[in-house]
Amino acid sequence: MSDLPSLTAHDLACRRGDRLLFKGLNLRLESGRGLWLRGRNGRGKTSLLRLSAGLGAAAAGELRWGDEPIKRSESFRHQRVWIGHQNALKEDLSAIESLQFLARLHGRRHDLPAIQAALAAAGLQDRARAAVRTLSQGQRRRVALARLVLEDEPGLWLLDEPYDALDVDGVRWLGGVLRHHLARGGSLMFASHLPAEADGPVVDTLDLDQQA
Amino acid sequence: MTYVKEEIGFVAILARDLRLASRRRVDILLPLGFFVVAVSLFPFGVGPEPNMLRQIAAGVVWVSALLATMLSVSHLYAADHADGSLEQMLLSPRSAYAIAAAKASAHWCLTGAPLVLCAPLLGLLMDMNSQALLILTATLLLGTPILSLLGGLGAALTLGLRSGAVLLILLILPLCIPTLIFGAGAVSAAESGVSVEAHFSLLGALLLLTGLAAPWGTAAALRIAVE
């Protein structure tokens, strides 16, 4: 198992408009660890995830991947997986085509059997050829999250409300995927409002309500 | 297993955009329809005098192609921005330059190329002779990629703005003036018996320059838009 660098934030501050969401935030996310971001709406969970993904600039402080700043790190570009609130699927493409495009774009396995297997793992084998337009919100979320199944190497997963719109089966499936990811040495940061699942991944929590 | 080559990102985005367009064929016909209608308005406006039409034909076709391109380019990044695809593209290992180049190329294939194919017919309508038609088509073939590249830059700069489409036209049209001058100028030069070589060289130079600079600017604008 290769050693995944750790993500560190030092004295991080984030500003939205003229409002300071958080400041002086320090964190260290090591290989094999998960971090669950909690906090009320508007506390900056999504902003922290976006900053960690390299979207946007911090008001102060720095995020590093190993010993390099994330924006300059070549390995970070390959090892970071960001699934935001939006699913990044195209209404007019089928689930297979959408997922295949994302996998190809990110340089992951994108042959048809691999894509079909990923969708089957997400419980969408019957709907794989259907246009995304015809899928429900929960099914769309599953297609977006099926990308995680195509991740062969442990990396840093940044997931914004991954459980959003998922049903009970979906939550259990995702919990299993995340547990497996942590067990093989990947690292994970996610925001969620759901109470911790009994069989979900074992994670540390960061409560942003106490950061402001 | 990772496949990281720039051309793969370029081809993947281009192929996806062409496939998306094939699912919505009407969208391709809209700029083309605008182009045809705009050109055919001129005989009504200036009168059906063949000499007059022949004189203004190249300019009319060029200006209409320019406007058709600008109208269709304003949504180039909007859908990808709204559904999160743009974020995924910019966070992928592909360079933003390749992404911008792929999007502009897709736009040219879907708008520029049909305009080039349609232009000789409209030229014929305006009573242009065969030599002028040939030159008009050739200048459009060189010129429309420039318009797609500049339009892509404008679309990226105005991404997420409420009156983006109008702002785009105001921002980018002045940059298109040199292309318009050399494009339409080549046809009038040929008609007055002057060599058109200089016009084509300048159009080629403009294409190279825009091809190098516009995706770079587009990439920077896109990074700002997703922040």
Res B2: pLDDT: 44
Residue B7 or residue A57, greater confidence: A57
Q: Which residues of chain A lie closer than 8 angstroms to B82, CB-CB?
A: 86
For residue A88, give the nearest of B13, B24, B84 by CB distance.
Answer: B84
The Cα of A139 is separated from the nearest Cα of chain B by a number of Å equal to 16
When pLDDT is averaged across residues B191-203 and rounded to a whole number, the result is 92
Res A23: pLDDT: 87
Kindly list the distances between the CA atom of residue B91 and the CA atoms of A78, A80, A81, B15, B33, in Å, as whole numbers in the listed order. Answer: 9, 8, 9, 19, 37
Any bridge partners for residue A37, and if so which?
Answer: A191, A206
Query: Taking a C-beta distance cutoff of 8 angstroms, is the pair B59, B119 a contact?
Result: no
Reduce the DSSP state of residue B150 to 3 states and report it: helix
Given CB atoms, is A129 within the 8 Å cutoff of chain B?
A: no
Q: Cα–Cα distance between A161 and B121 in angstroms, integer?
A: 54
pTM score, two decimals?
Answer: 0.91
Contact between chains at B3 and A107 (C-beta distance less than 8 A): yes
CA atoms within 13 A on the CB side of A20: 10
- What are B57-85's pLDDT values in tens digits? 999 999 999 999 999 998 899 999 999 99
The Cα of A88 is separated from the nearest Cα of chain B by a number of Å equal to 4
Q: Which residues of chain B lie closer than 8 angstroms to A53, CB-CB?
A: 91
Q: Cα–Cα distance between B83 and A40 in angstroms, integer?
A: 25
Neighbours of A190 (CB within 10 A): 22
Q: Which of A96, A85, A90, A5 lies closest to A46 in space, CA to CA?
A: A85
Res A89: pLDDT: 94
- What are A135-151's pLDDT values in tens digits? 999 999 999 999 999 99
- What are B165-183's pLDDT values in tens digits? 889 999 999 999 999 999 9
Q: Cα–Cα distance between B54 and A210 in angstroms, integer?
A: 75
Q: Cα–Cα distance between B100 and B104 in angstroms, integer?
A: 6
Given CB atoms, is B12 within the 8 Å cutoff of chain A?
A: yes
Q: Which residues of chain A lie closer than 8 angstroms to B24, CB-CB?
A: 92
Interface of A with B in 61-80 (CB under 8 A): 77-78, 80
Q: Cα–Cα distance between B189 and B28 in angstroms, integer?
A: 32
Query: Taking a C-beta distance cutoff of 8 angstroms, is the pair B24, B113 a contact?
Result: no
For residue B9, give the nearest of A84, A97, A105 by CB distance.
Answer: A105
- What are A5-62's pLDDT values in tens digits? 999 999 999 988 888 888 888 999 999 899 999 888 888 899 999 999 998 888 899 9
When pLDDT is averaged across residues B136-152 and rounded to a whole number, the result is 96
Which residue in chain A is spatially nearest to B92 when comparing CA positions?
A: A106
Query: Taking a C-beta distance cutoff of 8 angstroms, is the pair A33, A182 a contact?
Result: yes
Which residue in chain B is spatially nearest to A71 when comparing CA positions?
A: B91
Distance of CA B194 to the CA centre of its chain: 27
When pLDDT is averaged across residues A169-175 and rounded to a whole number, the result is 91
Query: Taking a C-beta distance cutoff of 8 angstroms, is the pair A95, A118 a contact?
Result: no
Longest dimension (CA), chain B: 67
- Burial class of A34 by CB neighbour count within 10 A (0 to 12, 13 to 18, 19+): buried
Given CB atoms, is A108 within the 8 Å cutoff of chain B?
A: yes
Q: Which residues of chain A lie closer than 8 angstroms to B13, CB-CB?
A: 105
Res B3: pLDDT: 45
A105: pLDDT confidence band, cut at 50, 70 and 90? very high
- What are A76-97's pLDDT values in tens digits? 988 999 999 999 999 999 999 9
Contact between chains at B1 and A105 (C-beta distance less than 8 A): no
Query: What are the structural domain ranges in chain B?
Result: 6-225
Q: Which residues of chain A lie closer than 8 angstroms to B20, CB-CB?
A: 90, 92-93
A212: pLDDT confidence band, cut at 50, 70 and 90? low
Q: What is the mean pLDDT of chain B?
A: 92
Q: Which residues of chain B lie closer than 8 angstroms to A92, CB-CB?
A: 20, 23-24
- Is residue A2 predicted with pLDDT exceeding 60? no
- Is residue B86 predicted with pLDDT exceeding 90? yes
Q: Which of A129, A99, A124, A130 lies closest to A114 in space, CA to CA?
A: A99
- Sheet containing A60-65, strands listed edge to edge, beginning at the edge strand earlier in sequence: A19-29, A7-16, A60-65, A68-69
Q: What percent of chain B has pLDDT over 70?
A: 97
- What are B21-61's pLDDT values in tens digits? 999 889 889 999 999 999 999 999 988 898 999 989 999 99
Residue B94 DSSP symbol: S
b/e map A139-177, b = 16+ CB within 10 Å? bbbbbbbbbbbbbeebbbbbbbbbbbebeeebbebbbeb
- What are A108-119's pLDDT values in tens digits? 999 999 999 999
Q: Which residues of chain A lie closer than 8 angstroms to B19, CB-CB?
A: 93, 97
Residue B26 token pair:
């009407």
Residue A45 token pair:
């969970």
Give the fold, CATH level 3, of A7-205: Rossmann fold (3.40.50)
Weakest-pLDDT range from A40-44, A183-187, B194-198: A40-44
Give backbone dihedrals phi and psi of B127, rounded to 5 degrees, phi first.
Answer: 65, 35
- Is residue B209 predicted with pLDDT exceeding 60? yes
Kindly list the distances between the CA atom of residue A92 and the CA atoms of A83, A86, A134, B19, in Å, as whole numbers in the listed order. Answer: 20, 16, 9, 9
